[in-house]
Amino acid sequence: MKHDLDFLRLKSSGGGYSPRGPLEAQNVPLRVVLPSAYKLKPVTPKMKLSTTLAVLAAAAAEAHYTFPSIANTPDWQYVRQTSNYQSNGPVTNVNSPDIRCYQLRPGSGAPGTYTVAAGSTLAYNAKASISHPGPMAVYIAKVPAGQTAATWDGSGKVWSKIYQDRPNLGGSMTWPSNGARSINVPIPRCLQNGDYLLRAEHIALHSAGSAGGAQFYISCAQITVTGGSGTYSPRNQVSFPGAYSATDPGIMINIYYPVPTSYTPPGPAVETC
Ligand SMILES: [Cu+2]
């Protein structure tokens, strides 16, 4: 400590060491100061390294994304705020409760519930964009009697897949959602009227070669469906967690080499009217 201070004094004196300070009083030779000065030196490279890491972390975070809104509405107004609303980071454990709606505050809903007509198309917006390769899917679940879209937790085997995209196969595996800022979701015209949760899911597969490597980007919007024919009878409902396994062929997959010749999305088939 004392030596460090002496080093600073030495440095601030402009380089010329005058043997009048405490060092001389303790009869410590000048060369002893050097190791202590050396201790201070590594601070500079260390700071540079941490700065570099921070920049890299920021770059990685920028590559992630959220699904914070539907249609032309404010972020997190009709979509339940997700835990990654700042970090943009993914869910990687398919058995985690986060795999359902990735909620920042489980047990509380979004401020509003958005009314949408059955048979229309609803934009589910990504922020900033879907910057990783992988499949996009949308699931819907009808809110049970006695609850609302704002209060229901979405538990049980209640989710139906209503949207699923497919990769282009060939020289490489590419995805229609790559770079997209919005996904147009057809709201089935056969739905019953009432409140629903609408769950968007993008699975990033760029590092999915081993179990736990796939990244799930998820949101749940609160909607009220009107004008539906009511003839919808779901066949393949699933729960979250429960629908997926970490080793499902559509979740644990090397999309780069060898280039896959087919792709099986995880979860149930898309329901049709
Ligand atoms: Cu990312």
Kindly report the CATH number assigned to the domain that includes residue 200.
2.70.50.70
Residue 184 identity: N
Q: Which residues of 239-272 are buried (b: 16+ CB within 10 A; e: fewer)?
A: ebeebbebebebbbbebeeeebeebebbbbebbe
For strands 215-226 and 114-117, give the pairing: parallel
Determine the distance separating the centroid of ligand 1 and the alpha carbon of 28, expressed in angstroms: 56
Q: What is the pLDDT of residue 13?
A: 36
One domain for residues 26 and 127: no
One domain for residues 77 and 29: no
Determine the distance separating the centroid of ligand 1 and the alpha carbon of 55, expressed in angstroms: 15
Determine the distance separating the centroid of ligand 1 and the alpha carbon of 214, expressed in angstroms: 10
Query: Which residues lie at CB < 5 A from ion ligand 1?
Result: 63-64
Residue 129 identity: S
Residue 54 in any domain: the answer is no
One domain for residues 34 and 94: no
Q: What is the pLDDT of residue 39?
A: 41
Determine the distance separating the centroid of ligand 1 and the alpha carbon of 116, expressed in angstroms: 31
Determine the distance separating the centroid of ligand 1 and the alpha carbon of 56, expressed in angstroms: 12
Into how many domains does the chain fold? Answer: 2
- Contact (CB, 8 A) for 188 and 198: no
Residue 153 in any domain: the answer is yes
Residue numbers of the domain that contains 81 = 65-226
Q: Which of 226, 245, 268 is the last residue of a domain?
A: 226
In angstroms, what is the C-alpha Rg of the chain? 28
Residue ranges in the chain modelled with pLDDT below 50: 1-62
Determine the distance separating the centroid of ligand 1 and the alpha carbon of 204, expressed in angstroms: 8
- Which residues, 6 or more positions from 133, have their beta carbon under 8 angstroms from its beta carbon? 173, 174, 175, 178, 204, 205, 206, 255
One domain for residues 36 and 124: no
Determine the distance separating the centroid of ligand 1 and the alpha carbon of 133, expressed in angstroms: 10
One domain for residues 75 and 130: yes
One domain for residues 22 and 108: no
Residue 210 in any domain: the answer is yes
Q: What is the pLDDT of residue 63?
A: 78
Torsional class of 144: left (φ above 0), alpha (ψ -120 to 50), beta (otherwise): beta
pLDDT tens, 164-186? 999 999 899 999 999 999 999 99
One domain for residues 22 and 117: no
One domain for residues 82 and 204: yes
Residue 261 in any domain: the answer is no
Q: For residue 200, give both structure tokens.
A: 């968007």
